[in-house]
A = this chain, B = another copy of it.
Amino acid sequence: MEHCHNENIEENVEKKPLVPRTQVEKDQLITRLKRIEGQVRGIQKMIDEDRYCVDILIQVTAVNNALKKVGMNLLERHTNHCVSDAIKSGNGEQAIDELMKVIEQFSRA
């Protein structure tokens, strides 16, 4: 219920989210992540069956790409809601600092 609120930084503040994820949004993300979970299990099976290394690497690459898409989706929603809201209420600087840090780490992963 508090996805615009970084609990680590402001532990005692009780903020209400402007726009919590709808059930549809949650379901879409969770469906994608379940598919990714299945792909990770598939890679375990490939290793167990001693499949060709390059074929396994192609699967690892596919999972990374799928996770990057999930990450971009989260990033977009975060910017559209949490960061936008912070900017509108005059607290953009901290939100943008945090956004830049997470983009930098995410873009190297």
Interface size class of A (residues with CB under 8 A): 35 or more
| CA A53 to CA B21, docked complex, whole Å | 10
Give the complex CA separation of A20 and B48 in angstroms: 11
Chain B residues with CB below 8 A from A62, complex form: 109
- Taking the full assembly, how many copies of this chain does it contain? 4
Which residues of A63-105 have CB atoms within 8 Å of chain B's CB atoms?
A: 63-65, 67-68, 70-72, 74-80, 82, 84, 87-88, 92-93, 96, 98-100, 102-105
Chain A residues with CB under 8 Å of chain B are 1-8, 17, 20-21, 26, 29-30, 33-34, 36-37, 40-41, 43-44, 47-48, 50-58, 60-65, 67-68, 70-72, 74-80, 82, 84, 87-88, 92-93, 96, 98-100, 102-109
